[in-house]
Chains A and B, each alone.
Chain A
Amino acid sequence: MRSIQVLRYLPEESPQPFLQSFQVPVTDSTSVLDALNYIKESLDPTLSFRWSCRMAICGSCGVMVNGIPKLGCKDFLRNYPNDLIIEPLAHLPVERDLVVNMDSFLRHLEAVKPYLIEGKNAADSSQPNRQTPAQMARYQQFANCINCGLCYAACPQFGLNPEFTGPAAIALAHRYNLDSRDSGKAQRMAPLNSKNGVWSCTFVGFCSEVCPKGVDPAAAVNQGKVESAKSMLIQLFSGRAIGGAGQ
């Protein structure tokens, strides 16, 4: 048994969040999510948190563990021999206990159109859309994102300005811009070029440190700055956005 603390927020009981201690059984393989599930099943059924896959695939179990954004299912109690405090993800509004409102995150994802957009680069739709391994390697790393939002909880610029498009959305925009089958770059550059796009990043780099899937969003954002600078220059001199479709 060991003690862990969880930040509770029960708006109908108290307007202020408060820390609550629980005694949970531990083995070497007890994850933070296991501990939360134990609390919910055996100690306090009112505790709210999200989870689904418990194998770092669904991206729903993000929490702050001792102040660092982590996936509850991929982080283990054995990593924290001393104090352990579990809080909701930073920079997002808390609805209840460890459940945060992800709307602004989803809005930013939507804004960059994270899907293949048909156009001159797409094969005719009756044909399979072929891609060589080398073409795939250009974007593959950025395709591993599971939309967990840990990078938004890590990003101080998103904390200061929730209108910042943010690491995961920019990494996904970059992923599709690099895809040889995609023709949507011109549409994606508009949100990326804006002050709330890539230019809000000051290259803190913590997003890439906390990403549980090794996506390196900081690299995507800073490659995005080069692309955005090019795109604005082209627009200034030719009147068209990069990618050719702007009008």
Chain B
Amino acid sequence: MSNHMPKPSRRQGLHFEPLWWLLFSAGGVCFAVFVPAVALIFGVLWPLGIIDISLAQLQGYYSSLWGLVFTGAVIFLPAFHAAHRIRHAFHDFKLGGGSTTAFICCGTAAVVSFVAIWAWFMLPG
């Protein structure tokens, strides 16, 4: 009997929420593990002169593949984590939180990530 029913589309009932959530979860780990270390090193220890980092060496590291990993762990994933958080905060304050908010929040994260990755590609070396 069900042979005559049209087969439901494999996309039926799907939505993007799991994707945003996976990026959010991965970004949360990065926020907890990498971002504080980066803030400590580049925001406190280096400016205070407690440790010394040579710019040339830093650029060398950054233009290697590790620079791309760094961009992913410290910019790309945390940006999507923040976007998801901010979007849900809007929802919680009843200030939207629907697809327009999602577009603005995730769009901003995408632009930030794109610029960071583009900057890495533009690096000499």
Contacts and interface: CB of A to CB of B under 8 A. Distances in A.
A244 to B, nearest CB: 15
B14 A235 contact: yes
B52 interface: no
Given A160-B92, A202-B92, A194 B13 contact: yes
B21 A235 contact: no
B38 interface: no
Given A199-B21, A225-B21, A229-B22, A160 B91 contact: yes
Contacts of A37: none
A232 interface: yes
Contacts of B18: 199, 225, 228-229, 232-233
A235 B10 contact: yes
A195 B17 contact: yes
For the side of the interface on B, what is the size category? 10 to 19
Given A156-B92, A202-B92, A229-B22, A190 B13 contact: yes
Contacts of B10: 235-236, 238-239
Interface in A173-224: 190, 193-195, 199, 202
B2 A247 contact: yes
B4 interface: no
A233 B17 CA distance: 12
A247 B5 CA distance: 10
A160 B97 CA distance: 12
Interface in A109-140: none
B13 A236 contact: no
5 contacts: A160-B91, A160-B94, A193-B14, A194-B13, A225-B21
